[in-house]
């Protein structure tokens, strides 16, 4: 079920970002400091025929978003970093008004050896590098596995043909509302990519570990410990870049052990995303997604365990007004496979039209300009 809004979330973000700003303004000249961000403004018009796409009960609405990240290098090859965001407005579906997404330490010995400790994006899947509005070719994002930020330690690197990431993290790959809110439990996760020639990359990733929580009762868990119920995720990804065209695709297979169920519940999900740039300022994009992800939830006296099974499509454009300003528009629709088993939880599918204006900025550049005046 969805996470509760955390009253202290906004305070944590404000304190973290204030610390970055103070550190940036008072940093010694020999200490490299980075402080950048993105401001987004969005407008949405949806109907009420989709539990997935609906915003503001189907009434036109807008939202604002601030994303800010900072980094400092107090020692050679050692970087301290943090990323936070805040979202507000009637069209917002965010579970928290503000949150600290990333925070940690990175040590880079070489391109082949990078060590991270702290809070970072999950290593399963490859959408995370494109999650920011200035890099995402569309306004929406794949539904199957949203970007998550577990705590943990990660070792990563890249050579000429191979890249890798190995991590020990404390959260499963989970979708809020599709499975019970997970408690933190450590698990391994990995990712491996091969680039046979320039412009093509093939990758795999996966993880396995607990996905339930300690608040479930012994009766609900069939008198077993919640850690004993495992989730397994195996994913594959592909990226191709040729001339003015870019292709990204991912597919994942999921398997869940469910209390009071003899067999595991399996599910698959995939998406294919294309982007074409006919001119320097204009690009066109589309994403097609199929999500047959398991829906698993505990109710008093019984469990619901079935697949969601729906299609989701988005088509849109982007226009670079300036080097730092991007305007995007998109049309999105979804179609759910409604049957007697899920009709109480889902609607047949609906439509959404969105427009987004994004502006990137560099705080340190502002400070430097003021200094030179």
Would you state the pLDDT for residue 3? 41
243: region left, alpha or beta (phi > 0 left; psi from -120 to 50 alpha): left
Radius of gyration of the CA atoms of the chain, in A: 21
pLDDT tens string, the chain, 373 residues long: the values are: 344 444 444 445 444 444 444 444 444 445 689 999 999 999 999 999 998 899 999 999 999 999 999 999 999 999 999 999 999 999 998 766 788 999 999 999 999 999 999 999 999 999 999 999 999 999 999 988 788 999 999 999 999 899 999 999 999 998 888 899 999 999 999 999 999 999 999 999 999 999 999 999 999 999 999 999 999 999 999 999 999 999 999 999 999 999 989 899 999 999 999 999 999 999 999 999 999 988 899 988 889 898 888 999 999 999 999 999 999 999 999 999 887 767 777 789 999 999 999 999 999 888 888 888 7
Tokens at 313, concatenated: 């499509």
Would you state the pLDDT for residue 205? 97
* ∠ CA 271-307-173, rounded to 5°: 60
Q: Which three-class secondary structure state does DSSP give residue 315?
A: strand
β pairing state of 351-362 and 78-88: unpaired
Would you state the pLDDT for residue 25? 41
The span from the CA of 191 to the CA of 206, in Å, is 7
Domains of the chain: 9-372 (2.40.160.10)
Would you state the pLDDT for residue 115? 98
What number of other Cβ atoms are within 10 A of residue 303's Cβ? 16
- Does this model's pTM top 0.75? My answer is yes
Alpha helices in the chain (DSSP H): 9-26, 363-372
Tokens at 42, concatenated: 């969005």
Q: Taking a C-beta distance cutoff of 8 angstroms, is the pair 256, 231 a contact?
A: yes
Tokens at 340, concatenated: 């007697």
19: region left, alpha or beta (phi > 0 left; psi from -120 to 50 alpha): alpha
* ∠ CA 183-188-190, rounded to 5°: 125
The span from the CA of 115 to the CA of 67, in Å, is 24
* CB-based burial, 91-107: b 16+ in 10 Å, e otherwise: bbeeebbbbbbebbebe
Distances (CA, A) of 280 to 273, 284, 320, 321: 20, 12, 8, 11
Nearest to 292 by CA among 343, 347, 246, 251: 251
Sign for the pseudo-dihedral over CA of 62, 3, 273, 70: positive
Tokens at 200, concatenated: 């093509």
Q: Taking a C-beta distance cutoff of 8 angstroms, is the pair 328, 41 a contact?
A: no
Tokens at 20, concatenated: 């970055």
Tokens at 309, concatenated: 């099974």
Would you state the pLDDT for residue 340? 73
Would you state the pLDDT for residue 8? 47
* CB-based burial, 149-181: b 16+ in 10 Å, e otherwise: bbbbebebbeeeeebbbebebebbbbbebbbbe
């Amino acid at each position: 079920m969805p996470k509760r809004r955390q009253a202290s979330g906004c305070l944590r973000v404000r304190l973290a970002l204030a610390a970055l700003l103070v550190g940036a303004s008072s940093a010694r000249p020999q200490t490299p400091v980075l402080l950048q961000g993105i401001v987004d403004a969005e407008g949405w018009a949806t109907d009420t025929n989709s539990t997935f796409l609906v915003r503001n009960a189907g009434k036109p609405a807008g939202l604002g978003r601030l994303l800010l990240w900072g980094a400092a290098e107090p020692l050679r090859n050692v970087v301290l970093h943090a990323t936070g965001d805040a979202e507000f407005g009637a069209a917002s579906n965010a579970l928290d008004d503000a949150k600290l997404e990333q925070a940690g330490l990175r040590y880079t010995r070489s391109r082949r050896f990078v060590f991270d400790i702290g809070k970072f994006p999950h290593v399963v899947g490859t959408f995370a590098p494109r999650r920011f509005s200035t890099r995402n070719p569309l306004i929406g994002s794949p539904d199957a596995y949203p970007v998550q930020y577990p705590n943990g330690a990660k070792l990563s690197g890249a050579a000429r043909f191979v890249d890798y990431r190995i991590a020990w993290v404390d959260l499963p790959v989970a979708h809020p509302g599709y499975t019970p809110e997970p408690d933190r439990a450590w698990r391994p996760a990995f990712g491996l990519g091969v680039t046979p020639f320039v412009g093509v990359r093939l990758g795999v990733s996966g993880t396995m570990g607990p996905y339930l929580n300690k608040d479930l009762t012994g009766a609900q868990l069939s008198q077993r410990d919640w850690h004993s119920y495992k989730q397994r995720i195996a994913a594959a990804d592909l990226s191709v870049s040729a001339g003015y065209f870019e292709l990204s695709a991912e597919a994942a297979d999921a398997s869940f052990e469910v209390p009071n169920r003899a067999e595991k519940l399996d599910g698959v999900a995939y998406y294919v995303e294309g982007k074409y740039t006919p001119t320097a300022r204009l690009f066109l994009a589309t994403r097609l997604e199929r999500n047959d992800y398991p829906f698993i939830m505990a109710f008093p006296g019984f469990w619901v365990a079935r697949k969601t099974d729906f299609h989701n499509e988005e088509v849109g454009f982007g226009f670079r007004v300036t080097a730092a300003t991007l305007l995007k528009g998109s049309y999105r629709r979804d179609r759910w496979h409604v049957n007697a088993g899920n009709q109480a939880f889902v609607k047949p599918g609906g439509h959404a039209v969105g427009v987004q204006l994004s502006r990137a900025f560099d705080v340190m550049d502002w400070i430097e300009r003021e200094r030179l005046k």
